Structure 1
């Protein structure tokens, strides 16, 4: 059973997932990679696919960003995602 704190983080995470779609400006590439990696780590866990080939630059960047979050807990990834979206919303 989830603790009250875990439930609150999950609800805030879901709200942030919707909020990122409504940001006033498009985040820069580094911010987008950070958001992507934190989302994947929070929802799936560690990278579960093979690294894309060297000619798939975008795919390789996304894979590397996600892999950099390896072993981060779900709750930690959710909280960092929430914090990142809030920071982008205040820019």
Structure 2
């Protein structure tokens, strides 16, 4: 299985999570965006959009990370979260 296929598989499985912290979800979001779109290419949301700002900040924190590295880290984090939720 290629890295891209494994990444896609875990991205689907993550949608089945019922218990996850906001911090963990933001990590996954940032890694997912970096793997799929590369470095941030939008302006930071305004102060009246705290959720959008948190997501943007998470993505920005992975700036410069290669696609393969972002996918590998995403898979690792997803596996940890899925195991903690009893999802194989």
Please indicate, yes or no, whether the TM-score normalized by the shorter chain is above 0.5: yes
Residues 16-35 of structure 1 mapped to structure 2, 5 A cutoff? 16-23=10-17, 25-35=18-28
Alpha-carbon offset, residue 8 of structure 1: 1.4
Q: Secondary structure at the match of 1:90?
A: helix
1 CA distance for matches of 2:45 and 2:16? 30
Unaligned 5+ segments in structure 1 are: 1-6
Tell me how many residue pairs correspond in the alignment: 84
Alpha-carbon offset, residue 39 of structure 1: 0.3
Residues 1-91 of structure 1 mapped to structure 2, 5 A cutoff? 8-23=2-17, 25-91=18-84
Q: Which runs of 4+ in 1 moved over 2 A?
A: none
Kindly report the root-mean-square deviation, in angstroms, between the aligned alpha carbons of the 2 structures.
1.0
Unaligned 5+ segments in structure 2 are: none
Deviations 1:40-91 (CA, angstroms, capped at 9, x unpaired): 0000000000011112100110000000000000000000010011000111
1 CA distance for matches of 2:77 and 2:25? 10
Structure with higher Rg: it is 1
2 CA distance for matches of 1:19 and 1:29? 17
